[in-house]
A = this chain, B = another copy of it.
Amino acid sequence: MDAKQYLMQKSKEVDGAIKSFIPDEEPMRLIEASRQYPYAGGKRMRPAIVLAACGAVGGDKSKAVPLAVAIEYIHNFTLIHDDYMDGDEMRRGMKTIHVGYDMPTAILAGDALFAKAYQIIAELDIPSDNMRGILKFVSKAVWDLARGQQFDIENEHQLVSEERYTETIFLKTSVLFAAAAAGGALVGNASPEVVEAINKYALDMGLGFQMFDDYLGIAGDSSKTGKSVGNDLRKGKCTLMVTYTLENLKDEAKLAKFKSILGNMNATEEEVREGMQIMKDIGAIEYNKKAAEDKIASAKSYLSILPDSEDKEFMLALADYAINREV
């Protein structure tokens, strides 16, 4: 199965629903601001995970569509707030909300999307006990997302450990993937055992996805990723490649050199190349790639609990896609 194509197809399936849960209402400025990110598209990975998890446990996917929308709104709420905190000015080809509107509207649009997600969850057409289970996963995820973003900010301009790096991406990426997957399974009325397996699949897939994302930023084809290679080094971005290098490089001179390049926005092209070579020589780039692959293998293993189905196939293919993409 081609996960990318399937993803695009699923994306189309939820696009209409994503545009149907925020009706016109005053003040329209807030409504329009809250619609911008979810309406603008994106990979729609989280909605696709919700639907696939529901289908893979034999559930009625049409009942999972509202949850897919709610999870996407939550993702977009965090993007709006993160973009403001990080000072990012563009997303998906448009001005970010605090730039295109203003700061208060951005904060409120995020809060409003968050509240709307819970309104949707409260109305899910499933037994209330299952709805309660979903509520637990989702609320824990949002709590953890806030912790992850706080870690991310505190990690800047610091040399952090591999453990701290992994915890940060776990909180920033994995937990919402996992809420999407477990939530979809709960809509499909899966047993606690199956819900737990699907949850673990998504947690590990989130880790593998983010680790590979970091790898692409260094080893990827910049004409495809759109990221200038080496820029992550200049920005001092915390990745497994960096933590591995810092923890394993014993040559004092090289270590000093590496630290002088890391997070140095004025590093020359030659210095960046040198920094990349240091990571390559010590095996950090390979280590990062291997770590992502291990997480994906682990993620896939949890799905053995499920019977064969097109949705299970997609979940497996999506995991493979996470570490076999160019963008």
* A residues whose Cβ falls under 8 Å from a Cβ of B: 25-27, 29-30, 78, 81, 84-85, 103-105, 107-112, 114-116, 118-119, 121-123, 127-129, 131-132, 135-136, 138-140, 142-143, 145-147, 149-151, 153-154, 167
Complex interface: chain B residues within 8 A of A25 (CB)? 147
Check B107 against A84 for contact (C-beta < 8 Å): yes
* B-chain residues with CB within 8 Å of residue A121 when the two chains form the complex: 135
Q: What are some 5 contacts across the A-B interface (CB < 8 A)?
A: A26-B167, A78-B111, A108-B150, A112-B143, A114-B114
Measured between alpha carbons, how far is A85 from B104 in the docked complex, in Å?
Answer: 6
Per the bound structure, the CA–CA distance linking A111 and B136 in Å amounts to 16
A105-B150, A127-B128 known; 8 new pairs, CB 8 Å cut-off, are: A29-B154, A109-B146, A112-B143, A112-B147, A114-B142, A118-B138, A123-B136, A131-B132
Select which of B85, B112, B128, B140 is within 8 A of A119 by beta carbon.
B140
Q: Contacting A115 at CB < 8 Å: which of B30, B109, B116, B142?
A: B142
> When chains A and B are docked, how far (Å) is the Cα of A122 from the Cα of B141?
13
Given A135-B121, A136-B123, A139-B118, check contact A146 B81 (CB 8 Å). no
Given A115-B139, A122-B135, is A146 in contact with B108 using a C-beta cutoff of 8 Å? Answer: yes
Q: Do the beta carbons of A153 and B104 come within 8 Å of each other? A: yes
Partner pick for A132 among B110, B111, B122, B140, CB 8 A cutoff: B122
Q: A136-B123, A147-B26 are in contact. Are A85 and B103 (CB under 8 A)?
A: yes
* 10 closest A-B pairs by CB: A128-B128, A115-B142, A118-B139, A112-B146, A115-B143, A122-B135, A85-B104, A30-B150, A119-B139, A108-B146
Residues of B within 8 A of A27 (CB): 147, 150-151, 154
* A21, B225: Cα distance in complex, Å: 43
Known: A85-B103, A108-B149, A153-B104. A143 touches B119 (CB 8 A): yes
Q: How far is the CA of A151 from the CA of B107 in the complex (A)?
A: 14
One of B84, B85, B111 near A146 (C-beta < 8 A)? B111
Contacts of A140 in B (CB 8 A): 115, 119
- Please report the C-alpha to C-alpha distance between residue A238 and residue B92 in the assembled complex, in whole angstroms: 38
Asked if A104 contacts B29 (CB within 8 A), the reply is: no
The chain B residue sitting closest to A28, CB to CB, is B150
For A30, the chain B residues whose CB sits under 8 A away are 146-147, 150
